[in-house]
Amino acid sequence: MSAESRLDILTRINRARAREAQPFVRVPVRPSTRPHGDVVEQFAEYAAEYRANVVRVDAGGLPGAIRDALAARGSERVVIPPDLPTAWLPAHLPVTGDQPGTTDLTAFQAVVTGCAAAVAESGTVVLDHGPGQGRRALTLVPDHHVCVVWEAQVVDGVPEAVARLAESVRAGRPLTWISGPSATSDIELSRVEGVHGPRALDILIVGD
Amino acid sequence: MTIDLFITCLNDALFPRTGEATVKLLERLGHEVRFNERQTCCGQMHFNSGYQDDALRLVRHFVETFRDAEAVVAPSGSCVGMVRDLYPRAAEWAGDEELLAEVNALTPRVFELSEFLVRYLGVEDVGAYYPHRVTYHQTCHAMRVLRVGDAPLRLLKNVRGLRLVELPAVEQCCGFGGTFSVKNPETSTAMLADKVQNVLSTKAEACTAGDNSCLMHIGGGLSRLQAGTRTVHLAEILASTEGEVFA
Amino acid sequence: MSAGGIVPQRTFQEAARATLANAQMRRNLQHATTTIREKRLRAVAELPDWEDLRIQGAAIKDHVMANLGDYLLDLEAAVKARGGHVHWARDALEAREIVAGIASSHGAREVIKVKSITTDEIELNGGLAERGIHAIETDLAELIVQLSEDLPSHILVPAIHRNRAEIRDLFRRKLGAELLTDEPKQLAEAARLYLREKFLTTKVAVSGANFAVAETGTICVVESEGNGRMCVTLPEVLVSVMGIEKVLPTWQDMAVYLQLLPRSSTAERMNPYTSFWSGVTPGDGPQEFHLILLDNGRTDVLADEVGRQTLRCIRCSACLNVCPVYERAGGHAYGSVYPGPIGAILTPQLLHLENKNANTLPWASSLCGACYDACPVKINIPEVLLYLRGKITEDRPLSAEDTLFKTAAWVMSEPHRFEGAIKLARTGQGPLVKQGAIHALPGMLGGWTDTRDLPAFPPQTFREWWRGRPAPAMRGTEGNAQASEGQPLAPQREERSI
């Protein structure tokens, strides 16, 4: 059935003879013209507007910030991607390295990951599930996501982020774009945070 | 300059005072006004109701009538919208290249009254006097098809004695829509009810706009409620002076 | 139960009456559309190049339409290269059978679903139910619609017509939820508890697709609640149904739509979650992926030069939120899973302009143009409405209305006939006129005078007045405004009637 349908649909498309009115020109990505400090500042502001808890630290302060973020929500059972840099974590923090196929993610309250990029214009963090980010379910099932963003990972606009992620996509990696915690506005358009995804999102922005 | 008045069929038959006001106003500003008696209707009613073949007849008639005009001015955003926005469509859909060329040659010379005054003539103070509390309804076609912007408001702000009150939800359609008001009278009425409430909330003595079709609709609702607020075409306010109250 | 389809059971006018008569529903709708309208304007104003983005958004889609076959073949090849399966469905029935076949091959009695208007279009839930497979909607609003055996009334917020009290009662009844209040937070929590177990235990999930990138075989699902992530990540098998017009040429093109879509739909800078995947990722997410490419009337729309732009639609629903007709009549009046202005042009076209009820939809517009201004991909909805009105009128048998319009055109094309007609009307209106206005008209025109007065024809037309003016030489019109102010006008015979 499908082969016949395929041929039929393709034939109809050819017969439709849709033609372009004008030659198509793709507009190149507009480069950011702002100092990077302003870009990072706006990312922090916009992510916070979408109810992410945003903290800015320097590299030395990262382990402490992770400890504080977990403690603030009482998250004790913590899972991490197996390749998360250990230097990020506070000493003596009990964590479990995720083993896809065996780890029961419902047993954990929180997850700590890195990211692939962040977007100032929209307050978004993007995971390409590469090193330090884990499989997709890892940042979905536990109720609290602590996400580490390095200042150099923050770009100004969506087009720059898309350009930066092109390599990951071409490599066949999935992407997850996250802008604040899970939310719904389905009931009378009033916003409720935390439906199915993590109800709390902490973004730790680390200075270089 | 010499201005050819396109009065529109609705104004001709039902609202002649608007035409008189337009003549008076343009002449007061020092222009020669002509009225080509060959003119009838722009064809919008037909085109919008699905009778595009029949509309084409009226498109051709309009083009023949005004072909040589220096400027065609109409006191109706809707009819000018038809000419400028939809005449090319009508010609294209009919596959009439010759008509399309003629339409494209003519349409840049066809103007709605307020945009003609403000943008083309550069006049914002037309020397009018109208001592009333007035609210302004922005008609859809003037706003979204012709993009007249704040031209009508600039004119109204310069009318001596006039107190302009802002109309809430000014961007919302009054619900007329030509055949829409007859084909879907309940929905049209629901839209009108909100518009009428908004007009009444301004406590204005008069509601004005650049189009008598919308005003006929809003006025029809106000009249049924015996609300006391009247509708007045913008041209009639602009034509009014201390010496002569026009509307 | 069946969620939707695209075949209206009544005319727009008949279907609109229910909502127009329901004060509660109208309040819900007005509140929702007004809120989101204002929010959208702010979200759009933040991007300085919004107009350029719209132009790009339209241009990319037009380019896709001109090369649709090639891009679909590229997409198919890329998805297959990444371990996915690709199916082609000519119509709703074929698409339903493919989904059912995949579910059955895994012995699934239940599937979980991400909100997808395309699966509503093909009435997937009903089709699966016939084969003993229960589809569970996981989007909060879709769940509300499903549990109440209702129909969606908005593309983005399908339960926009329901308020919190109604939803609380529904959840108490259907989910056995112990709800103390009708706070949206509590209601969302009840849905979370019910669905979490489904996400973790169901083997097969079905989604739509907001976009698909031909170059890389990447599918995109845009959402807010996380139910989408759950569905495309946790089950073993994922089936995505997409209309053939959703394909984009390159990954970089996503940038345009990731800016246009969230700001136009939920009026946010970005929606909370967007998922992208390309075929199957070893060790991460479903290990079996099926993409169904659906035609269902789209190639016919493609073949129409004017109607084709409808296929640019990215289902943002901005046109619904700005539409004054939608705001009053509600989504159900459109009788299709595609309501509002876009539905008024898409539904009749998908049905080849052959469905009598769907053919009333192009008239469900006052042609105010707000939809065209709001559309992020510049679909000239008013233009398509007019075009469809023309095609529908042309194709149907001659009616009394047709005769009226045709006669009118004949009259209007000659000034002397036009003038004669006015004189005739002026004489004929006599009995209808009371205090200068007409309060009741017979027949079809009675729809107007039920709620509105009409002005009566004044005793003199403009052209009669013009002829009666003194010659220009006697008027002294040359000169400035001051000089001509005192000029007498032709005598006015009667006040305007309104």
Residue C270 is nearest to which of A106, A124, A137, comparing CB atoms? A124
The residue-averaged pLDDT of C126-154 equals 90
Identity of the residue in A1, A15, A163 whose CB atom sits nearest the CB atom of C303: A15
- Contact: C259, A158; criterion CB under 8 Å: yes
β-pairing, A183-184 vs A192-193, is: antiparallel
Q: Tell me: the pLDDT tens digits for A143-190?
A: 999 999 999 999 999 999 999 999 999 999 999 999 988 888 778 777
Yes or no, beta carbons of A27 and C279 under 8 Å apart: no
pLDDT for residue C475: 62
Do chain C and chain B touch with ≥3 beta carbon pairs under 8 Å? yes
User: Is residue C1 over pLDDT 50?
Assistant: no
Of the listed ranges B184-188, C401-405, C487-491, the least confidently predicted one is C487-491
Q: Do A189 and C68 touch (CB under 8 A)?
A: no
Q: How far is CA C230 from CA A162, A168, A182, in A?
A: 23, 22, 12
Average pLDDT over residues C104-133: 96
CB contact residues (below 8 A), chain A span 104-163, against chain C = 106, 119, 121-124, 129, 135-137, 140, 157-159, 161-163
Cβ-nearest to B144 among C369, C444, C498: C369
| HSE toward the beta carbon, residue C79, CA cutoff 13 A | 27
Tokens 């008013």 correspond to: C382
Of the ranges A129-138, C176-185, C414-423, the best mean pLDDT one? A129-138
pTM of the model: 0.93
Look up tokens 């208007």; give the residue: C117
Q: Enter the tokens of residue B91.
A: 């010609």
Chain C segment 233-272 residues within 8 A of A by beta carbon are 233-234, 244, 250-256, 258-259, 262, 266, 268-272
Q: Does B220 touch chain C (CB under 8 A)?
A: yes
Higher pLDDT among residues C410 and B219, named by residue: B219
- With 80 as the cut, is the pLDDT of residue B43 above it? yes
Within 427-456 of C, beta carbons closer than 8 Å to B belong to: 437, 439, 444-445, 447-448, 450-455
Local confidence band at B181 (pLDDT 50, 70, 90 cut-offs) = very high
Cβ neighbours for C484, distance < 8 A, ≥ 6 positions apart: B27, B28, C476, C477
Over residues B87-121, the pLDDT tens digits come to 999 999 999 999 999 999 999 999 999 999 999 99
A24 touches chain C (CB under 8 A): yes
Model pLDDT for residues B122-162, shown as the tens digit of each residue? 999 999 999 999 999 999 999 999 999 999 999 999 999 99
pLDDT at C39 over 60: yes
Average pLDDT over residues C342-360: 97
* A60/chain C closest Cα distance in angstroms: 30
* Collapsed DSSP state (helix, strand, coil) of residue A94: coil
Alpha-carbon gap, residue B141 to B83, rounded angstroms = 11
Percent of chain B having pLDDT more than 70? 100
Contact (CB<8Å) C225/A170: no
Rounded to a whole number of angstroms, the distance from the CA of A61 to the nearest CA of chain C is 28
pLDDT confidence bin for C24, thresholds 50/70/90? confident
- pLDDT tens digits, one per residue of C236-261: 999 999 999 999 999 999 999 999 99
Residue C498 has pLDDT above 70, yes or no: no
How does residue B174 score in pLDDT terms, banded at 50, 70 and 90? very high
Q: Which amino acid does the sequence have at A74? A: G
> Kind and range of the H or E element at B3?
strand B2-5
Judge residue B19's burial from the number of C-beta atoms within 10 Å of its C-beta, 0-12 exposed, 13-18 middle, 19 or more buried: buried
- 3-class DSSP assignment, residue B136: strand
pLDDT band for position C497 (cuts 50, 70, 90): very low
Q: What is the pLDDT of residue C484?
A: 38
Mean pLDDT confidence for B206-222:
96
The rounded mean pLDDT for chain A is 93
pLDDT at position C472 is 65
Cα B64 from Cα B103, distance rounded (Å): 10
Please give the residue of chain B at the shortest CA–CA distance from C369. Answer: B144
Q: How far apart are alpha carbons A118 and C128 in whole angstroms?
A: 40
Which of C62, C252, C273 is opposite residue A176, by nearest beta carbon? C273
Q: Which residue of C has its CA nearest to A51?
A: C272
B166 in the Ramachandran plot: left (φ > 0), alpha (ψ -120 to 50) or beta?
beta
The first and second tokens of residue C363, run together, are 């008239």
Residue C496 pLDDT class (50, 70, 90 cuts): very low
C-alpha neighbours within 13 Å on the C-beta side of residue C61: 24
What beta strand segments (E) does C256-336 contain? Answer: 273-278, 288-294
**Residues C375-397 pLDDT 10s:** 999 999 999 999 999 999 988 88
Which residue, chain included where needed, has tokens 């004005």? B208
Nearest alpha carbon to residue A112 among A151, A92, A85: A85
How distant, in Å, are the alpha carbons of A60, A84, A97, A138, A139 from that of A80?
Answer: 20, 7, 5, 8, 9
% of chain A beyond a pLDDT of 90: 78
What residues of chain B, 56 to 75, have a C-beta less than 8 Å from chain C?
Answer: 57-58, 61
pLDDT at B120: 95
Q: What is the mean pLDDT of chain C?
A: 90
Interface membership of C185 toward A (CB under 8 Å): yes
pLDDT surpasses 60 at C20 = yes
**3-class DSSP string for A27-59:** CCCCCCCCCHHHHHHHHHHHHHHCCCEEEEEEH
C496 touches chain B (CB under 8 A): yes
Q: List phi, psi (to 5°) of C377.
A: -115, 20
Average pLDDT over residues C197-214: 96
pLDDT at C483: 36
C449-492 pLDDT tens trace: 888 888 899 999 999 999 998 876 666 444 343 333 334 333 34
Number of H helices, E strands in chain C: 24, 13
Lowest mean pLDDT among B63-77, B200-214, C96-110, C169-183: C169-183
What per-residue confidence (pLDDT) applies to A191? 81
Q: Which residue has the higher pLDDT, C308 or B243?
A: C308
Would an 8 Å CB–CB cutoff place C153 in contact with chain A?
no
Give the pLDDT band of residue C404 (cuts 50, 70, 90).
confident
Q: Which of B11, B126, B187 to mutate to test the interface with C (most CBs of C within 10 A)?
A: B187
d(CA A174, CA C275): 7
Is C276 near chain B, with CB under 8 Å? no
CB B18 within 8 A of CB B11: yes
**b/e string for C338-366 if b means 16 or more Cβ within 10 A?**
bbbbbbbbbbbbbbebebebbbbbbbbbb
Report chain B's mean pLDDT, rounded to a whole number. 96
Q: How many CB pairs under 8 A join A and C?
A: 249
Instruction: Inform me whether the C-beta atom of residue C475 falls under 8 Å from chain B C-beta atoms.
Output: yes
Between positions 100 and 139 of B, the ones with CB within 8 A of C are 126-127
Burial class of residue A92 (count of CB atoms within 10 Å of its CB; 0-12, 13-18, 19+): exposed
With beta carbons less than 8 A apart as the criterion, state whether C100 and C133 touch.
yes
The more confidently predicted of residues C399 and B180 is: B180
Mutate which of C258, C264, C305, C317 to test chain A, going by most A C-beta atoms within 10 A? C258
A109 φ, ψ (degrees, to nearest 5): -90, -30
